[in-house]
Chains A and B, each alone.
Chain A
Amino acid sequence: MRAQRRIELVIAGLFAVTALSGVALLAVYILGGQTQVEGILLGIALGSLGLGVVLWAQELMDTPIVIEERQSATSSPAEAADFQAALTEEAGFTRRRMLVGMLLAAFAGLGAALAIPVLSLGPAPGREQFTTSWRKGSRLVLGDGTPVRAGDLPVDSLVTVFPEDAIGVTDSQTLLIRVPPDLLRLDPARAAWAPGGYVAYSKICTHAGCPVGLFRATERKLICPCHQSTFDVLAGAAPVFGPAGRPLPQLPIHMEADGTFVADGDFPDPVGPSFWNLTSRGGAG
């Protein structure tokens, strides 16, 4: 009995701690709040209450081990048969097969009709998958709107550029990189796309769409921070490591007399993550 009395006192003490830390929590809150102190006080309040409750159950409650028989879940054959009779025969379903069939068809039709508004949730994918805001004549500008000029950029460095009239637009973000011109190994058809060693590639990774943010200048490789796809800047941004399956699309550009850069059209291939009909340019017409 003495031992029980002691445990009772301990539990009462724990409950008192809860009450007190509750009051303290209130005080902290009123005084302006402080995340760490609030967390600790809340923890103490909950913890000592929990401890008290568990102690009570373990030490003071009389919880004998008992045994109970399990009943089988399965219904008796008579019950099961009665259920089926009630469900179908008594409702006359077994006699009116045609009507039941039509009822199900009606439900199916109505269900389809009611599900159709789900299509309102999004537009059908169309042209915009294949196109960006780059047009013939779009000037290459920085995020703040200033045009990039040849000479602003040291060799082996890069900037993020946008078309002048679509600054910050996600699918149009592009990297302008300056490399030594004699090292470039571009497709001969695209030899003119690198005026003075400046090449422009889409910044959106062709793997899963992260911005390709890292440039290893010594190797002239672009690296995507998400899954480390690596693209060879000198070879048309072809993927050389990692999970990306196709090159970063290259933007055709030329240099104006004033040293700024202008696009000669949109990217020849869709930018960003691949999709099943990307080679069709179907919607683009």
Chain B
Amino acid sequence: MTAGRNRPAATGTEPALAPTELDRLVGWLDERTGFARLARTVLRKVFPDHWSFLLGEIALFCYVILVLTGVFLTFFFAADTRPVTYQGPYPPLKGADVSAAFDSVMRLSFEVRAGLLMRQIHHWTAVVFVAAIVVHVCRIFFTGAFRRPREINWLVGVGLLLLALVAGLTGYSLPDDLLSGTGLRITDAVVTSIPFIGPWLAYLIFGGEFPSTELIGRLYVFHIMLLPALMIGGITVHLLILWFQKHTQYPGGEGRLTAHETNVIGRHFWPGQVFRSFGLFLLIAAVLAVLGGLVQINPVWVYGPFVSSAVSSPAQPDWYLGWLEGLLRMGPNWEPTLFGVTIPSVFGPSIVIPTIVFGAFTLWPFIEARVSGDHNDHQILQWPWQAPVRLGIGAAALTFFIVLTLAGGNDVLAVYLRVRVEDLTAAARILAVVAPIAVGLIAWRLGVERARQVDRERTPLEELESGS
């Protein structure tokens, strides 16, 4: 087969064929909407080809799966904290006092056909969703894809990451089991700790003193209405901006075509990219279906219903909140009172530090442009080593998160490593400062070395080409 053999030439010199059904349909629609003009540019859009451009797509597909499975779950879930007696088929809890919410999750898991499958796919997808976003952000960060003109899309993306985290937290809090209750209690304390407005804000969000009877209903509205609506809005803007700005591309090129700031090298959206993306979507869905079917996640019947005087131990949040848990565990026990205003010990680790970290992360494109003085448009990506300082800072940040996440599981680690939790916490405090600096310096150094090496290996011919 040769390229374009079956395609009529655009000049239309071939004899006219009898109109097919498709022609008639397209004609009918186009006469009324003129859509063919737009659709043509869509199908013919050029997309650069690189595996790392699929990471964001994976996140998008996860969102779709979350909506599909989530809608199924809403038909069975009761967002209601009224007490009922468990009468279902799970023997250990028979006759237990549970909330209607917990009861409905039990029914969904044990009595509704395919209910447990849907629940577990939903939860696994949420876990993969955040992971895909995080890896996608790392790709954007380390290749400098956020640089002008893409700062706006960086901001939209950071917003989406935040929404995904909140959606995850509100989601796994809904079943009203012991583990989720623990997470909510801590969330309530975190909000309450904000000076002046904290208690008031916590009452507004949670509907009164913890645990208010409104709690689950509130979270449900956040989880199935507000957050998904905000996210679909954000995703739409994210994709529209991407569409109009066109993809970035890696330096180099394809075959004999050289990538420049002024061109895009890739394949047409239709059919290749669409088929490949659709295939990727199906493969991701397949993996999640198998995970949902075979690998147990969030077995609320093991944790038991929420009882306010009990706590599940060890209590671990989903992975993406582990760093916050780590910060809380490592935090010092300072709780000064100045002029009658107490700064709760929760405030620093759970509000101040995350705000600083997330703030710097959000503003990164502007910080980098200010520091480097580079305010030019960039369509060509950088390899991570081409910006060693950024590489070092990014590596340091990732190390920081890893140390915090490990500290968030210090009780489990302590048992595993046979050391005292107290010693682990002390070690984590030191590591959280030292390890990021060390890793950052090493990454920076390696980047510089690599850049030098590439410079040396550059042949005069290549010099000539890139200069042209």
List A residues at the B interface (Cβ < 8 Å): 4, 29, 32-33, 35-40, 42-47, 49-54, 56-58, 61-70, 73, 118-119, 121-125, 128-129, 143, 160, 168, 170-171, 173, 203, 207-211, 213-214, 225-229, 239, 241-246, 272-280
B49's closest neighbor in chain A, by CB? A65
Task: Report whether B193 and A123 are in contact in the complex, using a CB–CB cutoff of 8 Å.
Answer: no
Known A211-B308, A275-B198: A124·B289 in contact at CB below 8 Å = no
Kindly list chain A residues whose C-beta atoms are within 8 Å of the C-beta of B121. Answer: 39
Q: Given the interface contacts A29-B114, A32-B113, A43-B286, does A208 sit within 8 Å of B185 by beta carbon?
A: yes
New A-B pairs, 15, CB < 8 Å, besides A33-B113, A65-B267: A39-B121, A51-B283, A56-B275, A63-B271, A73-B149, A122-B203, A122-B207, A123-B208, A129-B199, A208-B346, A226-B311, A239-B333, A244-B345, A245-B333, A273-B193
Which residue of the partner chain, among B114, B265, B282, B314, contacts A49 with CB atoms under 8 Å? B282
Instruction: Report yes or no: A203 in contact with B265, Cβ–Cβ below 8 A.
Output: no
24 contacts between A and B (CB under 8 A): A40-B294, A42-B117, A42-B293, A43-B290, A45-B286, A47-B286, A50-B279, A50-B283, A53-B278, A61-B272, A63-B268, A67-B257, A70-B263, A73-B245, A119-B204, A122-B206, A208-B190, A225-B313, A226-B328, A227-B331, A273-B188, A273-B192, A273-B193, A276-B344
Asked if B410 is at the interface (CB within 8 A of a chain A CB), the reply is yes
Q: What residue of chain B has the Cβ atom nearest to residue A44's Cβ?
A: B286
Residue of A with least CB distance to B326: A227
Establish whether residues A228 and B425, one from each chain, have CB atoms under 8 Å apart when the complex forms: yes
Distance of A96 Cα from B255 Cα, bound (Å): 60
Residues of B within 8 A of A168 (CB): 308-309
Task: Say whether A47 contacts B186, CB under 8 Å.
Answer: no
Decide: A57 and B272 in contact? CB cutoff 8 A: yes
**B311–A211 touching, CB < 8 Å:** yes
With A36-B294, A68-B263 given, is the CB distance from A226 to B315 under 8 Å? yes
Cβ of B300 to closest chain A Cβ, rounded Å: 15
B334: CB under 8 A from chain A? Answer: yes
B3 in contact (CB, < 8 A): yes
How far is A55 from B411 in the complex, measured between Cα atoms in Å? 47
Residues on B with C-beta less than 8 A from A242 are: 329, 333, 425
Interchain CA distance A25-B227 in the complex, whole Å? 33
Known A38-B114, A62-B1, A63-B271; contact A241-B422, beta-carbon cutoff 8 A? yes
Chain B 301-314 interface mask (CB, 8 Å, partner A; 1/0)? 00000001111011
Which residues does chain B contribute within 8 Å of A170, judged by CB atoms?
210-211, 308-309
Chain B 232-257, CB-CB to A under 8 Å as 1, else 0, gives 00000000000011100000001101
Contact B265 A67 (CB under 8 A): yes
Find the B residue at minimum CB distance from A39: B293
Contacting residues, chain A, for B337 (C-beta < 8 A): 279
Residues of A within 8 A of B283 (CB): 46-47, 50-51, 54
Give the distance in Å from the alpha carbon of A116 to the alpha carbon of B255 in the complex.
62
Task: Count contacts between A and B, CB distance < 8 Å.
Answer: 274
Given contacts A54-B275, A63-B268, contact A245 B335 (CB under 8 A): yes
Tell me whether B46 is interfacial, beta carbon within 8 Å.
yes
Contact residues in B for A39 (Cβ distance below 8 Å): 117, 120-121, 289-294
Are B272 and A208 in contact, CB atoms less than 8 angstroms apart?
no
A121:B199 contact, CB within 8 angstroms: no
Whole-angstrom distance between the alpha carbons of A37 and B185 in the complex?
37
CB under 8 Å from chain A, chain B span 380-400: none
Given the known inter-chain contacts A29-B113, A35-B116, please indicate yes or no for A209 contacting B189, CB distance below 8 A: yes
Asked if A57 contacts B149 (CB within 8 A), the reply is no
Nearest B residue to A274 via CB reads: B344
A118–B204 CB distance below 8 A = yes
**A37: chain B residues within 8 A (beta carbon):** 293
* Contact (Cβ within 8 A) A243 B329: yes
Please name all residues of chain A whose beta carbon is closer than 8 Å to the beta carbon of B349 when the two chains form the complex. Answer: 243
> What residues of chain A lie closer than 8 Å to B261, measured between beta carbons?
70
**Minimal beta-carbon separation of A48 from chain B (angstroms):** 8
Please name all residues of chain B whose beta carbon is closer than 8 Å to the beta carbon of A118 when the two chains form the complex: 204
Cβ of B221 to closest chain A Cβ, rounded Å: 10
Residue from A70, A73, A213, A226 in contact with B262 in the complex, judged by beta carbons closer than 8 Å: A70
Q: Judging by beta carbons under 8 Å apart, are B333 and A275 in contact? A: no
Interface residues of B in 159-193 (CB under 8 A from A): 182, 185-186, 188-190, 192-193
Contact between chains at A125 and B199 (CB < 8 Å): yes
8 Å CB contacts to A: which residues of B191-227? 192-196, 198-200, 202-211
Q: Which residue of B lies closest to A119 (CB)?
A: B204
Cα A56 to Cα B192 in complex, Å, equals: 56
- A227: chain B residues at CB < 8 Å are 325, 328-329, 331
On chain A, the residues within 8 Å of B280 by CB distance are 50, 54
In the complex, A210 Cα to B185 Cα: how many Å? 7
**A194 CA / B272 CA spacing, docked (Å):** 78
Inter-chain contact B200/A125, CB cutoff 8 Å: yes
Q: Is B287 part of the binding interface, using a Cβ–Cβ cutoff of 8 Å?
A: yes
Knowing A50-B282, A61-B272, A70-B263 are in contact, say whether A43-B411 is a contact too (CB < 8 A).
no
A68 touches B113 (CB 8 A): no
Assess whether B405 is interfacial by the CB under 8 Å rule: no
